[in-house]
Every structure is written in structure tokens, then in C-alpha cells.
Chains A and B, each alone.
Chain A
Amino acid sequence: KAGVTQTPRYLIKTRGQQVTLSCSPISGHRSVSWYQQTPGQGLQFLFEYFSETQRNKGNFPGRFSGRQFSNSRSEMNVSTLELGDSALYLCASSIRQGTGNIQYFGAGTRLSVL
């Protein structure tokens, strides 16, 4: 079974631009979550989508948005990029296991904002 696929792997943008990242979950997984990883803040939760609906949201400005399609693929959009948005963006798909969910992560998209 294929793992979580994130595209593109690397991205270079300039301040003020916008960017869209894509995530294809493991087949059969309906939940997709997004995380931002930076050296200073570590891994921080952005949002989670389940069956095309946002189920949870982290503490990020409205410039960060996402959506999920009927095939569970998800996209994340960042508008008006800032230098501080440079980070590794990780997507995870999950499936129910016991009382919670087990999560599987993609390889990430490394975004550099110049």
C-alpha cells in the first residue's frame, strides 16, 4: 500500500506570494492533518480534515488555510508569504486504532521564503 505522498518536495517563493501544497493520504484513510516544523518552534499542528470538513484547527493566522476533496486528498494554502513561513510542512493521514488514531506522515514539503 502506498504511503502518504506530498508534493512538491521543495519550493522556493518570495515574500508576498502564495503557495499551495498537496497531500495524498494512504488509501482508505479519511483524516488528513497538517503540521509545520521549524527549528525554533518544533512541530506545530495546523489543522485536520475529515470527510471534507475541518475538524480541528491550530493557532495559526488566517493566511493558512486548507481543504479536503472527496477522494481524501488535501491541499494547504498559505497566502501573503512571510519569511517566518519558511519551514518543513508535514502531512499525516490517520486511521482509527483502539481509542485513538494512528498517524502516518509523508516526507514533507520544504518551503523556503526569500
Chain B
Amino acid sequence: KQEVTQIPAALSVPEGENLVLNCSFTDSAIYNLQWFRQDPGKGLTSLLLIQSSQREQTSGRLNASLDKSSGRSTLYIAASQPGDSATYLCAVQETSGSRLTFGEGTQLTVNP
């Protein structure tokens, strides 16, 4: 059974700092990995999707990497801003359908 773990569970940083969020998964037979952002009481916003054949994806200040063989992904946020404060979730897709297995999330606080 696939298990997804995110470390750390919570992170507090000053504005402007670069930071890395970690995600690990136990079964490397995945179709893709997706990073999401969730603001309190809201739905999920898709940030980046990495296909199983890709090593990384970039969008603005965000860069996500994927190492399938070691079962790891990282989300790098450059020059963090208070508006980046949210919970970040990673999820893996294992089957040809749309079922995602989520980690518990990292709660990020960026202090002005």
C-alpha cells in the first residue's frame, strides 16, 4: 500500500528566505506526482505536476523535482513571501485512473 510522507510538518521562515519542502513515497511505480497548495478552509490549488518520466518542473518561484528510484520529491520555493503561507500537499497517482494518495502536508508560515 502506497504511503506518502511529508517533512517537515510545519515550517516558519522569515520573508525572502529560500526553502525546501520534502515528500517521500514508498512505491516507486507511480504515473505522476502533483504538488498542491491549500489555504485555510479552502480547496486545493494545483502548483506543479511532474510526470513519471520527468525529473523536474518549474513555475515562477517554484521548482519541483522527482527522483522515482529513491521515492522522493522536493518543492523549492525561492524568495518566499507572506502570501506563500499555506499548507503544501504532495500527492502521487499510481493507477491509470485519477486516484491520488496524499501526504499529510507541510504547513508553511512566512513572516514579514
Contacts and interface: CB of A to CB of B under 8 A. Distances in A.
Q: How large is the interface on A (under 10, 10 to 19, 20 to 34, 35 or more residues)?
A: 20 to 34
Nearest to A3: B43
B97 A50 contact: yes
A81 interface: no
Given A45-B99, A94-B98, A102 B49 contact: yes
A31 B97 contact: yes
Q: How large is the interface on B (under 10, 10 to 19, 20 to 34, 35 or more residues)?
A: 20 to 34
A4 B49 CA distance: 18
Interface string B78-112: 00000000000101010111111111110000000
Contacts of A107: 42-43
Nearest to B31: A100
A75 interface: no
Given A107-B42, A108-B43, 13 more contacts: A6-B43, A43-B91, A45-B100, A48-B99, A56-B98, A58-B99, A92-B98, A98-B51, A99-B52, A101-B31, A102-B46, A103-B100, A105-B36
Interface of A: 4, 6, 31, 33, 35, 42-43, 45, 48, 50, 55-56, 58, 88, 90, 92, 94, 97-108, 110
22 contacts: A33-B98, A43-B89, A43-B91, A43-B100, A48-B99, A55-B98, A56-B97, A58-B99, A92-B44, A92-B98, A92-B100, A97-B49, A98-B32, A100-B49, A100-B96, A101-B97, A102-B34, A102-B49, A103-B98, A106-B43, A108-B42, A108-B43
